A and B are shown apart, each in its own frame.
Chain A
Amino acid sequence: MKHWWWKFLAVALVLSASIAALRTPLAPAVVYVDAGEVSAGAAALRVVGYGTRFTESPVQAYLENGGQFVQAMRIEVADDRHLTAHFEVPAGLREDLCDLIVSAPGQGDMRLFDAFFYRSKGAGAATGTVKAPQRTQREGFVFPNRNLLYESIRNLNFHVPMWFTMMLLQTIALVFSIRVLSGGDPLHDRGALAAVQVSLLFAFLGLITGSVWARATWGGWWTGDTKLNGAAVTILIYLAYLVLRGSATDPAKRARLAAIYNIFAYVLMLLFIMALPRMTASLHPGSGGNPAFSQYDLDASLRPVFYAAVLGWMGIGTWLLHLQYRLARLEIAKNHA
């Protein structure tokens, strides 16, 4: 097999990244509390976790409001994911919304932001609060557990590499197109076509998987998000490239026209993808108001798996291109023979 070393590496990377992506547990987190609002006095809150192990070690719960912490009087653990926390809520806390924190050694401080409304607002509680609890550490190699995403955060290692692969292949197509204009070898033209075709495959895969993920996260199959517009524009451009190739009959002219359009469209598309999303708000992480994924713990756990997945899938895409390119080369040789 030709060039077996990087193909083998690509498969190894994709396999290991995918296994890690599917097997790594999610960080324990609090996902639900059964009260919508709480006022001064006794409160019994039923808390539901995900990926939590409440029965494993002593668990503590706190309310946090405006920098002041209220510790639970009593915790009743029902099972690994359910507990009831009894609080004696003081009057006069400063803010309208309270956070709920459940902490256990080995599982870290699991905070549910803006868990419920606080009805007895004041200038700061005088009694009934404790100072900030000592932070517990979370152990183990885990993926971040984010609101709305939960397990689907694993898709980061599958959906996003599709787009990176598409961009790599489009760049390869650009290089082929430049060589068409500066040379005239029909092989470069067929190479450009092959690169565009495989890039469209990955573009459609990225689009469909993104749609499925979007339906689960944002409720709809498509939104007016800038990144989605960029994806649609990219696909339309390369489909138009194929249409252009279809309309020109003379092979030399077709090669040149297609190359010119490819270069023109690629640069403008690059401009669009890089410049405009920074200007507008968006649902996607990393643009507009949302914090970038780098803030989303893309550090210890997600990052190595993600990078491996991206590199691996780019290799797989290049392998597919390599096959298509070799086929084109054989077809040209056959036509000349």
Chain B
Amino acid sequence: MRGAELVHLLKLEAALDLRQRAAWGGMVLYVASAIYTCHLAVQEGASGSAWSALFWIILLFAAFNALARSFQREDGGRQLYLHTLAHPRSVVLARTAYNAVTMLVLSLLSLLFYTVFLGDEPLRAGDPLQFTVAVALGGIGFASVLTLISAIAARAGSGIGLMAILGFPIVLPMLLAVMQASRLALSGALWGETAPYFLGILLIDVVALSLAWLLFPYLWRD
């Protein structure tokens, strides 16, 4: 029963997103503009750790942008309808899963744009696969942590500003871990060195998801 509910909810998310294609375009455009601005600002090409740091800052803000929408695009009427249809736990699981996929696509796309405009030398000098894994895990991590935060901020009635304030300190440790892993990846470290960071991020994802699963019904009560 729950599984079928999840699948339906996921399909609903996808349908909603497809209908609001402009929003997707907005996200991609935001990332592209940020990257292009960096390209103009950094004329000579950035060194390894600066390259990685800049990328993560862009991705962080893109994530806030993308995930803020996830609970704000519905009005009260549609939320009430959803409330009567589905169990809140399924809603939060489905939404987190969908956000994770969205962030995965967005992060990899951003990486692609980034290498086009700011060069891929640091990537080629290091281990590109590890870096890509770091980017993917980081994107999914943002989604799993920020989905509940976005719900809280939406309920409080404020916009992306409040979500950024609430979300930033919680996301910061994970960001530090993933930035350290990226730096190691760019300096050509072995999987053994970066693996603890990846496992740490996965642990945070699991814990955040469990907490969201536990707490979301209280949020949904309105």
Contact = CB atoms under 8 A, between A and B. Distances in A.
Do A and B have CB atoms closer than 8 angstroms in the complex? yes
A257 B219 contact: yes
Given A243-B162, A248-B156, A271-B204, A181 B218 contact: yes
Contact of B222 (A247, A253, A275): A253
B119 interface: no
A264 B219 CA distance: 12
Given A256-B219, A264-B170, A275-B203, A247 B211 contact: no
Q: Tell me what chain A mostly uses at the interface: helix, strand, loop, or mixed.
A: helix
A236 interface: yes
Contacts of B157: 247-249
A45 interface: no
A33 interface: no
A181 B207 CA distance: 19
Interface string A280-309: 100000000000000000000000000000
A311 B100 CA distance: 44
B7 interface: no
B155 interface: yes
Contacts of B215: 181, 260, 263-264
Contacts of A253: 155-156, 222
Interface in B175-221: 176-177, 180, 196-197, 200, 203-204, 207-208, 211-212, 215, 218-219, 221
B7 to A, nearest CB: 27
Interface string B138-168: 0000000100110010011110001001101
Given A244-B152, A256-B218, A260-B219, A237 B169 contact: yes
Contact of B156 (A233, A237, A247, A276): A247
B203 A271 contact: yes
A271 B152 contact: no
Contacts of B222: 253
Interface of B is mostly: helix
Interface in B78-112: none
A118 B95 CA distance: 67
A256 to B, nearest CB: 6
Contact of B165 (A243, A264, A269, A279): A243
Contacts of B155: 248, 253, 257
A268 B153 CA distance: 18
A263 B219 contact: no
Contacts of B219: 256-257, 260
B21 to A, nearest CB: 31
Contact of B148 (A230, A237, A264): A264
A44 to B, nearest CB: 48
Contacts of A42: none
A272 B173 contact: yes
A183 B200 CA distance: 34
A181 B156 CA distance: 16
A268 B211 contact: yes
A236 B204 CA distance: 18
Interface in A235-283: 236-237, 240, 243-244, 247-249, 253, 256-257, 259-261, 263-265, 267-269, 271-272, 275-276, 279-280
Interface string A111-122: 000000000000
B196 A268 contact: no
B221 A268 contact: no
B116 interface: no
Interface of A: 181, 229-230, 233-234, 236-237, 240, 243-244, 247-249, 253, 256-257, 259-261, 263-265, 267-269, 271-272, 275-276, 279-280
Shortest beta-carbon contacts, A-B, top 8: A236-B169, A272-B173, A237-B169, A248-B156, A247-B158, A247-B156, A240-B166, A260-B215
28 contacts: A181-B215, A181-B218, A230-B173, A236-B172, A240-B166, A240-B169, A243-B162, A248-B155, A248-B156, A249-B157, A253-B156, A257-B155, A257-B219, A260-B215, A260-B218, A260-B219, A261-B152, A261-B166, A263-B215, A264-B215, A267-B207, A268-B173, A268-B204, A268-B208, A268-B211, A272-B204, A276-B173, A280-B180
Given A234-B169, A257-B219, 17 more contacts: A229-B176, A230-B173, A237-B169, A240-B168, A243-B162, A248-B157, A253-B156, A257-B152, A259-B218, A260-B148, A261-B152, A261-B166, A268-B145, A268-B208, A268-B211, A271-B203, A271-B207
